[in-house]
Amino acid sequence: MYRYDEFDERFVRDRVAQFSDQVARRLDGSLTEDEFKPLRLKNGVYLQLHAYMLRIAVPYGTLSSKQMRQLALIGERFDRGYGHFTTRQNLQFNWPKLRDVPEILGLLADVEMHCIQTSGNCIRNVTADHFAGVAQDEIEDPRPVCELIRQWSTAHPEFSYLPRKFKIAATGAQHDRAVTKAHDIGLRIVRHPDSGEIGYEISVGGGLGRTPMIGKVVRDFLPKPDLLAYLEAIMRVYNQEGRRDNKYKARVKILVHEIGTEEFRSRVEAEFATLDGPSVNADPEELARIEAYFAPPAYETLPRESAALAAARASNPAFDRWAGTNLTPHRADGYSAVTISLKPIGLAPGDATSEQMRVIADLAERYSFDELRVTHAQNIVLPHVRQDDLHAIWEALVPAGLATANSGLITDIIACPGLDYCALATARSIPIAQAIQQRFEDAERQTEIGELNIKISGCINACGHHHVGHIGILGLEKRGIESYQITLGGDATENAAVGEILGPGLPAEEVPGAIEAIVGVYEAERNDGERFIETVKRVGLSPFKAAFKELSHAAD
């Protein structure tokens, strides 16, 4: 994985000193609260419902064991002994004191980490496929280009006061695990159909929030060396033309929607044409320098299938179930990627205690070339594990409460922090997730239902990605009472789609029953081997709406 050179190291240290000075100028009154706010946000410090929240960047979701241990230490020393992994592959601490923030930033800098641009109206932390460098369907590892973009977008002199936040996601695979079409810019590494050259497909204007939109392709093929100049052109058009009169219409998706994809594209291309590429772009040698850090680890030559794994699965049903759900095929023979679920039944999705973080760090060090990934589904991945070691890993995960066998299943729910923590939330999210998990706790039942993504947001800002959940749940507040709106048919993959509303909002206690009814329709309608989302796409919404209507009538 990437290591800081002297410049990166100096930069994060400078940034900590700069923030300390900004805090001092706020305290002595030189800066007003309005002036200080974007400065603290760009250093990851939010003011939440009960306390400050600190959001730590995990660039493109990659962490080392040492970094994970440092997060454990910070959680223990400055929070309540746990942290929360987010849908943008970051980590949030919900209870730090403002006065401790500079010290925390210093501890992060010690392990080549920071909170830079995890909030504010700027280019945010770049996210990527959590199976980057592992997946069998990958053209190229997207993380080097993510790191290039991370550096380029950091403290950008021109693009640090944008109309609104700006999120970039990248994938190098056919199957989109990074939800690229729901980002302001989605970058796909593609191979040119004629020349075979590797370049980028660029989409702009995706986003969730109160106006969900799927990104539009503005460039089918961008040669790799032109990337930064092209991004500069997009950002300049957005910075100058994006709406600033209404914060709810200020994302680039609204600009693209209002002027049209064609017009947006022509403005970007016109701007791009005036740029002197060589004075803007990174040298190919610079990308190559970064790429060298992401070279595959030294895999052993192993048989494709592990006899030890087969024997352990045959003799231990619980291990077998876990191995059946939480493993992903690896490009190296005899290896697997392991998803460690942070969704045990009845606990807050994405939370990990400091003790769990240390267990995970130790396993990564011992079994996974010292490397970890944070997924946008709020789980952790050990990316390069010998299949021979899987049983030992599982045995270490079980006592730590980390062996839940539900990756991709109905209880692997994405949920934002919701009204329990967030100042923007209009309803609770975590208790809804917990109630659904309890309803579908039975492991056999979960396996029978198969792949099903439930995503829950506690307000229309959609941090829980409910629009692209197979089943989406949006918590709203109506006349002082929480009301949950259920959508169906959302898809976060390369077939990205926004879910449609099934019917009127439900009170919290009726949500698990409604999910049960939806699952019931699927079980009745599905063909052999058909996944939930495939059935929904085939049969359409009507049977689900009918069941939903019946349910609402029953409740009246």
Partner 1 sequence: MLLIDREGSATEAWTRADGAAIGNLSHALVGWDALPEALDQKSSDQKIGVLVPNSLPSEALKPFFDQLALVAIGFPAFADGRGFSLAKVLRREGFRGTLRASGPLIPDQFDYAIACGFDEIELPEASASRQSALQWQQARGRLSRTYQRGYTRDGNILDRRRLARAAANSPAG
Give contact residues for partner 1 (rule: CB under 8 A).
Answer: 5, 7-8, 10-11, 14-15, 17-18, 21-22, 25, 29-32, 35, 38-39, 121, 151-152, 154-162, 228, 232, 236, 239-240, 244, 274, 276, 279-283, 285-286, 289
The upper half-sphere exposure of residue 327, i.e. CA atoms within 13 Å in the direction of its Cβ, equals 23
Instruction: Report the residue number, 276 or 528, with the smaller CB distance to partner 1.
Output: 276
Torsion angle of the four alpha carbons 271, 275, 277, 282, in this order, in degrees rounded to the nearest 10: -80
Instruction: Report the residue number, 17 or 481, with the smaller CB distance to partner 1.
Output: 17
Residues 380 and 298 sit within 8 Å (Cβ to Cβ):
no
The minimum distance between CB 31 and partner 1, in angstroms, equals 7
Asked whether the CA dihedral 459, 460, 462, 466 is positive or negative, the reply is positive
Instruction: Report the residue number, 239 or 552, with the smaller CB distance to partner 1.
Output: 239
3-state secondary structure of 84: strand
Residues 263 and 271 sit within 8 Å (Cβ to Cβ):
no
The minimum distance between CB 273 and partner 1, in angstroms, equals 12
Q: Cβ contacts of residue 5 below 8 Å, gap of 6+?
A: none
Instruction: Report the residue number, 286 or 451, with the smaller CB distance to partner 1.
Output: 286
The structure tokens 């990074």 sit at: 178
3-state secondary structure of 340: strand
Instruction: Report the residue number, 162 or 402, with the smaller CB distance to partner 1.
Output: 162
> What are the C-alpha distances in Å from 134 to residues 59, 157, 220, 328, 369?
17, 35, 25, 9, 13
The minimum distance between CB 90 and partner 1, in angstroms, equals 21
Instruction: Report the residue number, 14 or 258, with the smaller CB distance to partner 1.
Output: 14
Instruction: Report the residue number, 283 or 300, with the smaller CB distance to partner 1.
Output: 283
- Mode of pairing for the β-strands spanning 454-457 and 371-374: unpaired
Instruction: Report the residue number, 12 or 213, with the smaller CB distance to partner 1.
Output: 12
Burial class (CB within 10 angstroms; exposed 0-12, middle 13-18, buried 19+) of 504: exposed
Instruction: Report the residue number, 236 or 251, with the smaller CB distance to partner 1.
Output: 236
- Mode of pairing for the β-strands spanning 168-171 and 327-329: unpaired
Comparing CA positions, the residue from 403, 400, 425, 404 lying closest to residue 415 is 425
Comparing CA positions, the residue from 46, 84, 128 lying closest to residue 376 is 128
Instruction: Report the residue number, 39 or 222, with the smaller CB distance to partner 1.
Output: 39
> What are the C-alpha distances in Å from 455 to residues 81, 129, 131, 502, 533?
26, 18, 20, 15, 14
The minimum distance between CB 15 and partner 1, in angstroms, equals 7
Residues 134 and 337 sit within 8 Å (Cβ to Cβ):
yes
The minimum distance between CB 140 and partner 1, in angstroms, equals 21
Q: At what angle do helices 532-539 and 542-555 cross, to 10 degrees?
A: 100
The minimum distance between CB 117 and partner 1, in angstroms, equals 12
